């Protein structure tokens, strides 16, 4: 027969085991509750961060149109001498612009279809044409305003916009503000250009490998 001390020890050990088991259950429950009530990922923040970097994965959207200047009443043109102004008439070959998306947001690169030069902004806020448009100084953020006009803010120089005077001359980016008429533009299709002529996407053609050839031919049978 067990002594009272042994009985006490057995009861104490049983109590400890049960208490520890309940503690583990309580700990697991608290951990599960903490994991479940975590806030969902901030998609808006993700879009904002990704819109600041060049997207080299997604297909690049390419559009062709003219930029009508609200102040000059004419169109932005890119000349062969690397000068940019807003003096072109509707349908002028130098006013035809090719606009490429840089991110899945609203950042774009703009180049003249005739000259192949990109519209860029230097550190003095002057608009210039460049053959290589990979730098941030050649990227603009499209901002649709309440009056349905579009403003183009340079990605490298925050708060500096593409702008033209009434005579169509470029205005320094450091002297521009979003509310000014000089920075307001309207997108227009080139004269004689139809919507069906737009090429919505630019596809990259990769050479066929033996495996892709087999897959392609087997699918045609």
Q: Quote the CA–CA distance of 59 and 199 in Å, as a whole number.
A: 12
Q: Quote the CA–CA distance of 37 and 104 in Å, as a whole number.
A: 31
Query: What pLDDT, in 10s, does the model give residues 24-54?
Result: 565 565 566 554 445 566 545 544 554 555 5
Q: Quote the CA–CA distance of 143 and 24 in Å, as a whole number.
A: 55
Q: Quote the CA–CA distance of 207 and 170 in Å, as a whole number.
A: 44
Query: Would you report the helix, strand and coil content of the chain in percent, each value rounded to 5?
Result: 30, 25, 45
How much is the CA Rg of the chain, to the nearest whole Å?
31
Query: What pLDDT, in 10s, does the model give residues 122-141?
Result: 999 999 999 999 999 999 99
Closest CA to 87 of 142, 166, 180: 166
Q: Which domains does the chain have, with CATH numbers?
A: 53-198 (2.80.10.50)
Question: Do 112 and 77 contact (CB within 8 A), yes or no?
Answer: yes
Q: The tokens of 114 are what?
A: 């005739």
Tell me the whole-structure pTM to 2 decimals: 0.65
Closest CA to 180 of 194, 193, 163: 163
Note down pLDDT in tens along the chain; length 221 residues: 546 655 555 555 555 555 556 655 655 655 665 544 455 665 455 445 545 555 555 556 899 999 999 999 999 999 999 999 999 999 999 999 999 998 766 899 999 999 999 999 999 999 999 999 999 999 999 999 999 999 999 999 999 999 999 999 999 999 999 999 999 999 999 877 665 555 544 433 434 444 444 444 444 44
């Amino acid at each position: 027969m067990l002594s009272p001390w042994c009985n006490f020890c057995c009861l104490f050990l049983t109590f400890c085991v049960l208490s520890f088991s309940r503690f583990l259950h309580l700990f697991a429950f608290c951990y599960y509750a903490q994991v479940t009530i975590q806030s969902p990922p901030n998609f808006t923040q993700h879009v904002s961060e990704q819109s600041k970097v060049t997207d080299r994965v997604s297909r690049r959207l390419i559009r062709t149109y003219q930029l009508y200047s609200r102040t000059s009443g004419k169109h932005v043109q890119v000349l062969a001498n690397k000068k940019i102004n807003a003096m072109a008439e509707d349908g002028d070959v130098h006013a035809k612009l090719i606009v490429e998306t840089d991110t899945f947001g609203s950042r774009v690169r703009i180049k003249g279809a005739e000259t192949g030069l990109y519209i860029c902004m230097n550190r003095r806020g002057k608009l210039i044409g460049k053959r290589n448009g990979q730098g941030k100084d050649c990227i603009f953020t499209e901002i649709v305003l309440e009056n349905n006009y579009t403003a183009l803010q340079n990605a490298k120089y925050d708060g500096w916009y593409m702008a033209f005077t009434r005579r169509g001359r470029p205005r320094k980016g450091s002297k521009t503000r979003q509310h000014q008429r000089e920075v307001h533009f309207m997108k227009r299709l080139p004269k004689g250009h139809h919507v069906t002529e737009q090429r919505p996407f630019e596809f990259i053609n990769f050479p066929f490998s033996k495996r892709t050839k087999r897959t392609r031919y087997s699918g045609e049978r």
